[in-house]
Amino acid sequence: MQLFRFANPVFLYLLLLLPVIILLYIINELRKKKSLKRLGDINLVSGLVPEMSRIRPIIKFILQLIAVSAGIIMLSRPQFGSKIEDIKKQGVEVIIALDVSNSMLAEDIQPNRLTRAKQAISRLVDNLDNDKIGLIVFAGDAYIQIPVTTDYISAKMFLSSINPNIVPKQGTAIGAAINLGVRSFSPGEGKSKAMIIITDGENHEDDPVKAAEEASKAGIVIHTLGIGSTEGVPIPVINNGRKDYLKDVDGNTVITRLDEEILKKIALSTNGNYVRASNSNIGLDEIFRDIKKMKKQDLESTMYTEYNDQFQVFAAIALFLLLFDFMIMERKNRRLVNIRLFKFKV
C-alpha cells in the first residue's frame, strides 16, 4: 500500500545535476572576483560602480535553483493515494533471510558478499509482479526488516540501508532466521510459501537443520544460497581510516569459509534447492525460477488503486519563483535607491 508515489520517478535523477550547477556557479563567481582584482582593490571598484549589488545575483541564483528543483519534482508527478481497495492476485509468498554478520563483508565475491547479495535482491524485486516478498536479516539473532508486502518500492528503500551495524548481536544464527520466517508468513495461506536463505553458512548459534524440518512440516520450502569461497578469506575492517582484517582474541586473523554442507542439508530437508554463488552469477534468479513453478495462490493485499496528481503545487511554486526572479534586478536602480518609504526626523 503506497500513500505517496512519483508517477515518473526517473525524472528525479535530474536532481543530481543541482550540485553540478552550484559548483559551476561558484567557479564563475570566483572568476569574476579574480577579474575585479586585476582592476584594483575590490572595495574601490565597488565604490566606482555604486549600483552594483553583491547579494542580488546570489538571491536570483537561489530562486532559480529552487524553481528548477520544483520543476523537476513537477515532471516526476508526485501523487497521493485517494482510493483504497482489497486486491486479490495469484502469486507466491517469499521471505528472504539475509545474513548480515561481519563475515559477509569478505571480498571473495566482489565487491563483497553482502553488497552483491543486496544487488541481486534488488534486481529480483524489480522483476516481481503479483508476488509478496518479505526480508529478514540475521547475525547472532534474527530480525524482521520488511514484513511480507507487495510494496516493492519500500522494500528496495529498506534494502539499501542494510549493513552489519543494524543488528546488535554478531554471530550466525540460521535457525533463528528460519523460525522467525515461519512465523512471518501471512496466516491462513498454507500453499506457495518459500524462504531463500543467503549466507556463508558458518552457523555458530543453533541447529538450523532441525528448524528447517519444522518449517517443512508447515509446508514451507527453503532454498539456500551459499555465498563465499570454501578456501577461506579474511574479513576486512576499517581501523582509524585504514583497511585491516578482523582478528580474534589471540590476535590471529579470522578466516571465513563457506559451509556448503549445512546449507545443502537445510535445503534437502524441505525439498528445496542449494545454489552456490559466484562472481559471475549470484544464483538468486535460478532459485526464484524454481519458486515461480510452485502452485499459485490467492494473495490478498490492500492497495491504493487511484491517485491524485499534486504536480500543480510545484508548478505554481516554480512559476512564482521565476516571476519573482524576473522582478529582481541584478543592479540597484539609481532612481529607486534613494526612495524612502518612511522618513524619521531626528
pLDDT of 121 reads 94
Q: Which residues of 302-336 are buried (b: 16+ CB within 10 A; e: fewer)?
A: eebeebeeebeebeebbeebbeebeeeeeeeeeee
Q: Which residues have CB under 8 Å from 304's CB, separation 6+?
A: 1, 2, 3, 81, 82, 83, 84
pLDDT of 298 reads 60
- Domain 93-295: give its CATH superfamily: von Willebrand factor, type A domain (3.40.50.410)
Handedness of CA 12, 17, 22, 25 (dihedral sign): negative
Q: Which residues have CB under 8 Å from 316's CB, separation 6+?
A: none
Q: Measuring CA to CA, which residue among 294, 276, 265 is closest to residue 175?
A: 265
Pair 251, 275: CB distance under 8 Å: no
d(CA 212, CA 201): 14
Q: What is the pLDDT of residues 37-62, one digit of tens each?
A: 676 565 655 555 555 667 888 888 99
Consecutive H or E run containing 311: helix 311-327
In the chain, list all ranges with CATH 3.40.50.410: 93-295
Name the band, by pLDDT with cuts 50, 70 and 90, for residue 336.
very low
d(CA 132, CA 93): 5
d(CA 181, CA 76): 37
pLDDT of 346 reads 40
- The dihedrals phi and psi of 44, each to the nearest 5 degrees, come to -70, -45
pLDDT of 344 reads 45
DSSP SS3 for 68 = helix
295 pLDDT above the threshold of 80: no
d(CA 304, CA 287): 31
The whole-number average pLDDT for the span 245-262 is: 90
Cis peptide leading into residue 111 (ω within 30°): yes
Between 34 and 245, residue with greater pLDDT: 245
pLDDT of 141 reads 92
pLDDT of 317 reads 93
The whole-number average pLDDT for the span 179-189 is: 86
The mean-pLDDT minimum among 41-55, 82-96, 127-141, 202-216 falls in 41-55
Chain length of the chain: 346
Pair 154, 121: CB distance under 8 Å: no
Record the pTM: 0.66
pLDDT of 239 reads 80
Q: What is the pLDDT of residues 14-42, one digit of tens each?
A: 999 999 999 999 998 888 777 766 765 65
What is the chain's mean pLDDT, rounded? 84
Q: DSSP for 146-179? A: EEEES-HHHHHHHHHT--GGGSSS-S--HHHHHH
Q: Which residues have CB under 8 Å from 166's CB, separation 6+?
A: 100, 137, 143, 145
pLDDT of 191 reads 63
335 pLDDT above the threshold of 60: no
The whole-number average pLDDT for the span 301-325 is: 82
Q: What is the pLDDT of residues 219-243, one digit of tens each?
A: 999 999 999 998 889 999 888 878 8
